[in-house]
Structure 1
Amino acid sequence: MSRRSATYAFALGFIALPASGEETTLPPVVVSTRLESVEAFDAPASVSVVDIADRAHADLAESLAQAPGVIARDRRNHAQDTQLSIRGFGARATFGVRGVRLYADGIPATMPDGQGQVSHLDLVAADRIEILRGPFSALYGNASGGVVQVFTADGAEPAQVRVQTAFGSDGERIHGARALGAIGPVGYHVAFAVADTDGWREHSASRRESANLKLRVPVGDDGTLDLVANGYRAPEAQDPLGLTRADARADPRRATPAALAFDTRKSTAQNQLGAVWRHALGGGHALRATAYAGRRTIEQFLAVPITAQASPTSAGGVVDLAGDYGGVDLRWSWHGELASRAVEIDAGIDADRQRQHRRGFENFVGSATGIRGALRRDEINDARSVDRYAQAWWAFAPRWSALVGARASDVRFASDDRYVTAANPDDGGRVDYAQTTPVAGLVFAPRDDVRVHASAGRGFETPTFNELGYRADGGSGLAFDLKPARSRNLELGAKWRGADGASLEAALFRADTDDELAVARNVGGRSSYRNVGRARRQGVEISASIPLSTAWRVDIAATRLDATFRDAFAVCTAAGCTTPTARVTPGTRLPGVARDQAWLRAAWRDGGWSAAMQASAVGRVTVDDRGTEAAPGYARVDVEAACDFAFGDGTLRAFARIDNVFDRGYVGSVIVNEGNARYYEPGAARTWLAGLRWTWDAR
């Protein structure tokens, strides 16, 4: 994308701003930049808030699509996490979510090594989702290409109970309930959900169970304590694996033959407890402390061929992972005045740790496949991070404010190999990384309803345990030569808020990264990685919310993202390759990233009736580092309708939706650099969902 076209797009987004400078009532949203007293509108950052409290059916991938710069791909495969990226960061992940920080009610869902999961983020209990993009994401530490936070509602009077059930295509069944209220001074919010599906694709059935509890307890006259607990269980979610291009065209609903032969599947369980304590000290001072701990277990059966496991260094075809994790965060803040102008200062320290016991087994016994066999891997992995951070915001002039901050991070990886033989050397070891990431931003308010901001900062992303596990040269020990990817981030943005609830935002951004990580080779079921040089992600985002009348509203989000490698490097192109020979030329697009993306939702409400039409379009997406293949772009349309019926103190809502109304064939997500060229995960054809939701006051 040229600088001129980006500038034109940015300017055109603000041509239609009202000419008056009348004072506008702004929504009191304080989010994501860690400021306690500054609204997102006044921060030099791009922040989106997705309200899902009143949605009859909320899906994470669909909800995040409303934010510009965000790609959330629903794989139709619950054995794999939602594929999530922000401004191109995280798009190349083939496992979990990396490059993006995740939080639920202030509790991290991203581990110290930079890898996270979104499977336990239950939207039945959710109230809103907040997405932070741009340089200030770096204040959250390692792997902060962006930040996604899910928040549940606080319990308060009057008490309310909601019960919901829905049925849909391919045996989909979703049941949930939640209750929120208060018992004396203690607010509560409890929610449960169960979701089953036979799967749109062959061999993709799954069941997901979740439970969430949030209590808010007053502590003294000036403090509160939030207690958060959640549990998640997904027993034996079937994995149909990706398809080759030819197979995806011939029969997008089929599973890969290897998925059936090895009965590929994944079982996950996670339980977590967290606490957030806030206390006002007087004089504008306040303390906030967060502590959390949890345990996550995974058993995953892969389709690693038996012949590949003949290598003495193979880790087998069954992953058995049990991990404990936890952390603490202590923050001090003060807001007052400096030179008779408002100021806020925050400083804190956090420490996080994950300790996981990773074992690998063969996925066969004799000639029988898809069952646990002999032990092939046994190690204890430990990752720890200690971060110190500080930031200061100051409205130093009537229409000007500045925000500056920095975070100093120390991340340590250690591995204790307990499976050492004459042919399988010790893969243990330790490696440490340290990085300081400064950020700064400036905001100008030419009118009460307009903000223009500029920001700059640095970020970094360490290798995860999966990438550190094996060396590219085939030697023993961790991949000590891997460096963190370091980025320099710039953003220029503008925001407008209308008195009638209308809004318009636009941003130009650029992120230049050194030491990008890519696959070096695949041998004996082991993937190793290396740093491949520079990359650039730049583009423009525009979003708008337009109330056309008391009944109609239109929401729009659009992104143009140009993400390319800037250095040449060589890659392996097939499983078993030991020496990279295929050349990637400068200017090649980063795989997993769409250049163009657009989303539109037109919603209507009149009394108890409501309806909405949603259209989304995604451009062409390359699937490997060389850009030799690509998933074609597509557009799809979804519709939904609902009606509310009042019954005494309650309301019964009947709702229905149809996804992919025109039954278009498309690729929903891609598996970047898949060693067998099975890159493609087809999206679903036309599907439907219908249900009932009953809400009543429980007085």
Structure 2
Amino acid sequence: MPIKSIKVRLGLLSIIVLTGTMKTLGQANDTLLIRQLAPVTVSATRLEINEKRLPAALTVLGGGRIQIGQPQLSLFESLGGVAGLFAQNPDNFSQDLRISIRGFGARAAFGIRGIRLVIDGIPESTPDGQADVDNLDMGAMRRLEVMRGPSSGLFGNAAGGILNFQTENANEMSLLEGQVTVGSYGLRSYRFKTGVQKKKFQYVFIATRNQSEGYRALSHMESTILNLKLRYDFDSLTRISILANYGNSPVADDPGGLTLQQATENRRQAHPNNMRFLAGESVAQGRVGITFEKTMGKHLIFARAFGTKRDFANYLAFQAAGAGTINRTFAGASFQYQFSQKFDLIGYRFRLGMDVESQGDTRRRFDNLIGERGKLTFDQLESFKNIAAYVTQELTYQKVTMLVGLRSDAIRLHATDYFLTDGDQSGKRQFSRLNPSVGISLEASSKVNIYTNLGTSFETPTMSELSNNPTGTGGFNPDLNPQQAVNYEIGAKTYFSQRLRTDVALFDVEVKDELVPYQITGQAGRVFYRNAGRSRRQGVELSLNAVLAKGLTLFSNYTYSDFRYREYQTTTGKFDGNVLPGIPKHAAQAELRYFTPVGIFAIAQVRHASLLYADDANAVTANGYTVVNLRVGGQKTWGRMHIEPFIGVNNLLDAAYFQNVQINASANRYFEPSQGRFWFGGVKVGIK
């Protein structure tokens, strides 16, 4: 069906529904808008605490910010609302969304690196610090907590920040709900939800099917995502949950990076080598987890166990060892004990815990014979085991809150080489690390809280980074070492007249052995890593959220990032004082949301990023950009039936910019163009 016809039909449907006189579902009145700005209790710290008293920078996005009027195709749609966070690559589903917080994660060759992802208490990030979001369904999320800054004292390896997701519960859902979304470049998305709570038992099931032809050539993708949550409350203090997730993406093509000349000539083309070698990937992943929580007066016990199986295959844009497979198993368990006590004016809580996680990757590489696997060139079994113990303590006295954390990690890596025609490159690596953190928050007045914190983090290279050995042999790269960082931060959180909220954070991060990506000519798409000596990251994060008038809310943020190498030299040059590539110095977003008493809504969003560098030498830049997004819709009910039509456009002004930059790319293939003006629309129908 042509996009023009789709837009006309969706527009007519919206007019018919929104001009009706039916009872409005959940009218967006002032009380609801004010509630969006109020501080809430968060769990990203592993010790539940009101965010107002938390001595750290944290942003909370509710389900309305994530879902209403959105295609819900990617986490990227919502992340612009978080200061200090920069996201790239929303349109290349072969390489996954890339997220960085204060520079952590910017170096990722694919997926999310350096940032911990947790979903309903189950870690999505593997022990070696890698997270993929191809099995993440934003239509299932009711809340996202983003804590910024090094947090290895809480979550261990690669904790430069935390993304803590909570999925929908049955008592917040319709009995049945269906949604259809269509859009430009062949987007088709179908979602079905059901949730039932009966006495002490509840279940939630969500199924989503996505497909798109993509803006560029060789950008086709298909995916199916299933989520199941079962929960039983023995009583108000004891519950058990079973969480299951399955994602299958049989095809996600990769158009690859272009040179600036190629991007100028035709932004929609794929690189010729990617077309020739049919670059892309397929992946299937299943996960099952169980959590148990019991409160006994001053005591709380939390336990979890989970297992994940992931099968991955890809084709890169070259022949020699250009096809690969990874068969991964990832499992773990955790036990936590919490104690709370009140001593007159002093409150005390602590949580003691242990995490045990194990990851095993069977990694094979073959020659890429035009989308077919040729001879085997690499066969290696890699394991990553992590045992950790931690304690988090909270002390409150009148208007002062102190959080102190300490975590010890013992990590063992092993590579068993099964491809012995070039010798046995089996090897071992081991690391241990103790990470402290401390933060103090002061309620200076009923409207202002100020805080400061000091924390550390470390990042071991992932197994993919270690096994991409520039010598071309098996085993692990012996010259690649963990990255270490110390974060200093001071900030303030203000709440004025319940209608205005501002947050400000100033940070200084000292990084040693920064892990830096680079590519080798003839192997475009394969990324290698080396350590820079030292770097420094300084920045400011600001957010201002306000209820401007009845039904009208503003959410805005701005980030200033001054990230530079202090000591870094390679065979190609000395880069002391250069700006770290992949991060813009200035980034901002403003979003106006208007909800009328009769259920009609309109949301306007402006996102801006300044130019950024694509290489360590700061010789190549990607242009800055400003993007305007709009969406309108409505919410109505007839008795038990709820309907929500919506229509929107992203990149309204058809800005030409780069949605991803490949850092230190070979053959000048730095740039992946963004898609142009993107229309979408859909309708959600639910039965209460």
The answer to whether TM tops 0.5 is yes
Q: Does the Cα contact within 8 Å between 1:414 and 1:429 map onto a contact in 2?
A: yes
Picking from 319, 328, 335, the partner of 2:333 is 328
Picking from 242, 245, 253, the partner of 2:257 is 242
Matching residue of 2:92: 77
Deviates more, 1:347-356 or 1:137-146: 137-146
User: Structure 1 residues 527 and 426, CA, compared in 2 at 3 Å: closer, same or farther?
Assistant: farther
Matching residue of 1:55: 68
AA partner of residue 520 (structure 2): N
Matching residue of 2:621: 630
Q: Does the Cα contact within 8 Å between 1:487 and 1:514 map onto a contact in 2?
A: yes
Q: Does 1:42 align with 2:53?
A: yes
Q: Distance in 1 between matches of 2:246 and 2:667?
A: 35
Q: Does the Cα contact within 8 Å between 2:367 and 2:373 map onto a contact in 1?
A: yes
AA partner of residue 394 (structure 1): L
Matching residue of 2:342: 337
> What's the CA shift for 1:630?
1.1
> What's the CA shift for 1:25?
10
Q: Does 1:601 align with 2:575?
A: no
Measured against aligned partners, the alpha-carbon deviations of 1:165-196 in whole angstroms (never above 9, x if no partner) come to 01110111111011122133112211011111
AA partner of residue 382 (structure 1): S
Matching residue of 1:6: none
User: Structure 1 residues 418 and 25, CA, compared in 2 at 3 Å: closer, same or farther?
Assistant: closer
Q: Does 1:346 align with 2:351?
A: yes
User: Would you say how many aligned residue pairs link Structure 1 and Structure 2?
Assistant: 646
Measured against aligned partners, the alpha-carbon deviations of 1:216-273 in whole angstroms (never above 9, x if no partner) come to 1123663101110010011121111111111111111100001110111210100000
> What's the CA shift for 1:339?
5.2
Deviates more, 1:249-258 or 1:215-224: 215-224
Picking from 634, 643, 648, the partner of 1:657 is 648
User: Structure 1 residues 504 and 527, CA, compared in 2 at 3 Å: closer, same or farther?
Assistant: closer
> What's the CA shift for 1:522?
3.4
Matching residue of 1:573: none
Measured against aligned partners, the alpha-carbon deviations of 1:575-613 in whole angstroms (never above 9, x if no partner) come to xxxxxx211321111111111100000111102110011
User: Structure 1 residues 55 and 188, CA, compared in 2 at 3 Å: closer, same or farther?
Assistant: same
Specify every segment of 5 or more residues in structure 1 that has no aligned partner in the other structure, as ranges.
1-23, 310-315, 571-580
Matching residue of 1:11: none
User: Structure 1 residues 154 and 471, CA, compared in 2 at 3 Å: closer, same or farther?
Assistant: same
Runs (4+) off by over 4 Å:
470-476, 523-528
> What's the CA shift for 1:471?
4.9
AA partner of residue 128 (structure 1): R
AA partner of residue 352 (structure 1): E
User: Structure 1 residues 338 and 179, CA, compared in 2 at 3 Å: closer, same or farther?
Assistant: same
Measured against aligned partners, the alpha-carbon deviations of 1:451-510 in whole angstroms (never above 9, x if no partner) come to 100000111111111222255567764223422111111110100124534311000001
Q: What does 1:103-502 correspond to in 2, within 5 Å?
A: 103-136=118-151, 138-156=153-171, 160-219=175-234, 222-282=237-297, 284-304=298-318, 306=319, 309=320, 316-338=321-343, 340-364=345-369, 369-396=370-397, 398-421=398-421, 424-469=422-467, 471=469, 477-502=475-500
Same amino acid, percent of matched pairs: 30
> What's the CA shift for 1:116?
1.3
Measured against aligned partners, the alpha-carbon deviations of 1:274-331 in whole angstroms (never above 9, x if no partner) come to 111001123x111000111010111101112x3xx2xxxxxx1111111111101100
Q: Distance in 2 between matches of 1:638 and 1:317?
A: 38
Matching residue of 1:562: 562
Specify every segment of 5 or more residues in structure 2 that has no aligned partner in the other structure, as ranges.
1-35
Q: Does the Cα contact within 8 Å between 2:191 and 2:206 map onto a contact in 1?
A: yes
AA partner of residue 290 (structure 1): R
RMSD after superposition:
1.9
Matching residue of 2:40: 28
Q: Secondary structure at the match of 1:344?
A: strand
Picking from 510, 534, 539, the partner of 1:512 is 510
Q: So what's the TM-score if we normalise by structure 1? A: 0.89
Q: Distance in 2 between matches of 1:533 and 1:384?
A: 27
Q: Distance in 1 between matches of 2:335 and 2:252?
A: 38
User: Structure 1 residues 25 and 551, CA, compared in 2 at 3 Å: closer, same or farther?
Assistant: closer
Q: What does 1:515-534 correspond to in 2, within 5 Å?
A: 515-519=513-517, 522=520, 525=523, 528-534=528-534
Q: Secondary structure at the match of 1:548?
A: strand
* Greater relative contact order structure (CA < 8 Å, 6+ sep): 2
Q: Secondary structure at the match of 2:432?
A: strand
User: Structure 1 residues 242 and 481, CA, compared in 2 at 3 Å: closer, same or farther?
Assistant: closer
Q: Does the Cα contact within 8 Å between 1:166 and 1:692 map onto a contact in 2?
A: yes
Q: Does the Cα contact within 8 Å between 1:135 and 1:490 map onto a contact in 2?
A: no
Matching residue of 1:576: none
Q: Distance in 2 between matches of 1:34 and 1:175?
A: 35
Q: Distance in 2 between matches of 1:128 and 1:137?
A: 23
Q: Secondary structure at the match of 1:522?
A: coil
Q: Distance in 2 between matches of 1:474 and 1:241?
A: 23
Deviates more, 1:445-454 or 1:149-158: 149-158
AA partner of residue 383 (structure 2): D
